[in-house]
Amino acid sequence: MIARVKKGNPSAIAGKKSASKPTASRKQRSVGPPGKPSAASPETQLDSFIAKFDAPIAKRIRECRAILRKRFPTAFELVYDNYNFFVIGFAPTDRPSSTFFSIAANAHGVVLSFYWGSTLPDPHNILQGSGSQNRFVRLPDSSALSDPKIVALMNAAVAQAKFSLGKDPGHTIVRSVSAKQRPRRT
């Protein structure tokens, strides 16, 4: 079903579904250990996840997140503190499959991962990975997010999405926390 949108809305012209209407799922949510809700706010949890990293990586994660929050203020942040990676996904809905791209970090660095990267135009061949769906670019520092080639990939990811970004401010949702994790420090 395509939601009704106001005249002139680019998502209406492209035939995209709009994610602009607030729903009960737009509230901040967080989870604790597997299957248990957390009493801590999503921001508090996010800070504790980032604090597990060495200072230079933690700083890069925070800087990249700030840049993407400013550029996409209505996106949901879907947070995963998984076994291999700490991930902050940016999406127009609270569904993981609608994710445009994510900041993914481990003890060795930070990448910008494109959930549907295999379908993105990449004329400069900067996307890495060979899986059937995901592709990524390494972020040696947060200024890489201003590189016109990476900006073009992010814009293409948003443009090809099934849902458009809404008008309401985005929320942070902690989707999962793994009890067992690889070390976050080198």
61 in Cβ contact with 50 (< 8 Å): yes
What pLDDT does 182 receive? 80
Answer for the pair 134, 118: CB distance below 8 angstroms, yes or no: yes
Taking the CA atoms of the chain, what radius of gyration do you get in angstroms?
16
Domain ranges of the chain: 27-177
For residue 76 the two structure tokens come to 């949901």
pLDDT tens per residue across all 186 residues of the chain = 333 333 333 333 344 444 544 343 434 455 555 555 566 889 999 999 999 999 999 999 999 999 999 999 999 999 999 888 999 999 999 999 899 999 999 999 999 999 999 999 999 999 999 989 999 999 999 999 999 999 999 999 999 988 888 888 888 999 888 888 887 887
